[in-house]
Structure 1
Amino acid sequence: MNILIVDDEPRHLRGMAGMIQMMRPGAKVKTAKDGEAALALVREEQPDVVLSDIQMPKLDGLAFLQRLKEEELQTKVVMVSAYNLFEYAQRAIRHGAYDYLLKPVDMDKVEVLLQRLDRQLAEEERERGESAEMKQKLELASSAYRSRLLHQWLNGELSPGEPVDLEEWPLLAQMNTLVLTEIRTEGEAFPVQELVEQLKQRVSAYGEACVFPLQTVSQHSIRLVTVLKRESKPAEGIEELRSSLMRQTEIWRACGMVSHGIAALREEHRVKPAETYISSLYRQAEEALEYAFHEVWEGVVTFEPDAGLGNTSAVFQLDGEQLFEALQEQSFARAEAMCRDAFAELASQGRTEPKLMKNYASLTLMKLKSRTSGIIDQQVGSALADTASTAIPSCISSGMLMELMLGRLAEVHKSLTERKQGSGELAVEQCLNWIQGHYAEDLTLEMAAEQFHFNPSYFSTLMKSRTGRSFSDHLTEARMRAAKELLAGGRFKIYEIAEQCGYRDTKYFTRIFKRQVGLSPEAYKHTLRPQTGRGDRS
């Protein structure tokens, strides 16, 4: 309880303050020596209770009560006076006093008064809480109704001519540009109204605007819809709007990840009622927002029919075996570069569907898990599977996707590096390099074992345990890679390529190639024609 004591007699003031503080040790007690000082303290401190003398200089107790009433300052005033006259008490009550005490003050009576004040203040606090709760419920109900109407409008579910109880309806019916904004955060709740006002202030420079929040997409994200009525032609001013939204994104960076999708009405549709095109415009803004996944857009994507969003011709060229070989090198740099380059090419300047990017990322990690099974640490393999199935599908940006990919690849590289211990590991690595340089010869496991001073049986087991593949598998892989390169060059006939790859029997070479690649050498050459433009000399 906050209590203010007012009296022009210092002795009475100290005595009353000391008594109240003793009776209510937890109370906050302040004093004033006249009505004017008391009025100033009430304005500043807003005490729960004021115990005031009546006869005081400058502003007496009754005039003090009148001023409180005029200024609508809510506090409970108890008049304290030495005048035991009904007239004084009646005037004090009529001016709004809560009670009337006589001097000298009786401690028991003060205790009864304080208990009554305690009960009443507690009851008023409870009523205020109920009132605030009811107000909040009404606001939520109103907000839910408004949000439902806006959802129906955006999805084209309102009947033509249906009356809509929204103050923004005149603008909604004439809008020609829509911006869908999404904010994601792992932190505290969103200051929704503040965000709405800031966004409205920014976009109003480009036309008449209104901004409203949609229902929360998830616990940690919110969407705002901005509706604009721009007077300029659709293509004009969009780039300026995009640049402005990029600046707002930087300001909001502390709130979390921010992205925007912009859709503008085409000129030929401007003569039609808004309800005939709004659902299409909303879907376009949603699609543009989806592609903000690609960081090349810097968080703001404009839907354009000819922009090429949804590129389906992108090619993913990260060879799993070559990636595995790069991960076995002493440095992680080549594996990282391969991964970055492959996904940059797949992204096609931010025009490839984000879902396709995620699918290829998950597939790459699952293939790597299979390829390294029994070779790397089991926990590293489990992390590959978990990332592929859970973390990657929930990525919200290309940067996050690449960070996850490189993180897992770095763990695989570390695990492979740690396994390269002792002469056996070194011999296996040297043998793989030896195969690359001699695959055209009639190589055998026995020749390799002799080359590196091992027993053939032990060397076969060592290679299998360290790489997951046999000597024969590695030799075939090296020969097939060379064969594909020669076929792509288009300079040699099939039997010549077979000989250069270590096969003396062309039919056997053809059978092995088809088993490994899925196509015969001849068919494989034909698939390369559109890319190489070379003729067939076989």
Structure 2
Amino acid sequence: MYRLLIVDDEAVITDGMAEIMARQDIPGLDICKAYSGGEALDWLNSTRIDVVLSDVRMPGIDGLELMEIIRNNWPRCRIIFLTGYNDFDAVYQAIQNWGVRYLLKTEGYDKVIAAVRGAIRELDDGLRTDRLLAQAKEQRIDMETLAHFEYFRHLLSGAGTLHSPMLEEDFRKLNIPLRPAVPVLPVFGSLIRSAENPSYADRHEATMTVKLIGDSFLRDKTRCVGMIDRFGDLLWLIQPTTEGKDGPDADYAGTVRFLEGTLELIQASCCETLSTDVSFTIGSVPLSWESLPWVYDRLRQQQHVRVGDGASMVMTVSFGQHDSAEPIRERVRSDKIELLSGHLEGGRRDAFMQTLKEISEPISGGRMVHFAQVMEMYDSVALVILSYLNQSPTDDPLTSAALLRLDKHATWLEAFEYLARTAEALFALRRQREKSRAAGAMEGICSYIEQHLAEDLSLVRLAKHSHFNPSYLSRLFKQETGQNLSEYIDKARTKKAKELLAEAEWKIHEVGSRVGYESAHSFTRFFKKVTGITPQEFRDAAKTWPSDSSKSLKPYPL
């Protein structure tokens, strides 16, 4: 999904251009409007913008000043200037920059549409990172990258020293491009969907390619180090590159906004290049290095609390001071038990069952095993399940005294079959909760829309309200309700408009204002497009209806 921002101080031009672009068959194009350079700046500071279509001469912040801000906030954004003949000298210098083009206002809509389509094609081409894919397949991981992986795994385990002097020495020796005296922002990523039963090499190659893609985007505006953790998931540690403003004065809020927008581009690139969905969780508060191990555990847990299927989700979370008292749980020593715990937390049912099968293989295979070894295996798995239940409490009777009592089962094999059944029940409950959370979230969105019909209901604004990224919200709404978000908004506004038009006290332009249209002309055009008649024709017809004949717009079924 791409976001087009149209900027002009003449509302009729801005609105007209937005309507023209909305009628074009450009899949996933989200259109935003700004009636001044200041309003455009608000958009640029709050969400990712991919293409800007802007006038040059505007009061306050003009198009050329806006270009410098765009270059700083969203380096990959394409800019199209609409100019008059007398603006050419000013624009000539601007078009020497990469990604900037211009059109004369006299050239007409067709040229503008073609320019926007051309900019989107350039963005599409930039997502097809064939060069990075080939690089991931051909090059060996050099010793420095491997050393970074091992070093940060060591730190995340809580075994390393996290005090600044020691970190500074380690960073210098390992050539790590971060500053130990400066707080970091963590970004956790996991691959949601890939080929069925991929080999270890295929999984690692896909994850490594996602890391390389992420690095290439994130280094536009940050200092960062990416790594693959012991569960095969991704973690980036990020610091702003604001010149001369490290520490508490660094622009962490701006960096978080950059991450929220750029991670969507990384997701699109991974989907295009690898046919793989990637989900991200951003820690929005700058963290000290000492707090990194427990925050990493919290991010892992938060990442796997999904709404819907979680594919292509970007979630932003923060942790208060009370959260730092202690880690979520002690680490389990056995590699397979650690994997089992990670698979259960991540909702990876097939991988969990395969690992459980490997753990219980000595018993199911009929080999001679000492009772103490069986008890150790059983208790380790049971504690993984119990730990998960403690993190995700449920009123359902999924456990009983038999969970921690090997001697309650007739045979050892029956005991491990009981563990498998308990895990199956947990995975089923998880899927049910994910579906319920998605339905609840969409019910909240529908309620918000119906209560704010007079306000901005753009996808960006609704995404900010719901704390989802725009593309995920759009897809989740369609998945849960069976209709597009824009269709639901149009229906809600039409229904409210009909109710108000049926009441004589409201003038037509007042009705339009109450459903989000400040211009009576725009409201009339919208209403006729949806209903086939003008507001006045509807009002005249409504006078002949019985008083109880108005129909209400039913919310989508939940």
Query: TM-score with structure 1 length normalisation?
Result: 0.33
> Which protein has greater RCO, CA pairs closer than 8 Å, 6+ apart?
2
TM-score normalised by L of structure 2 = 0.32
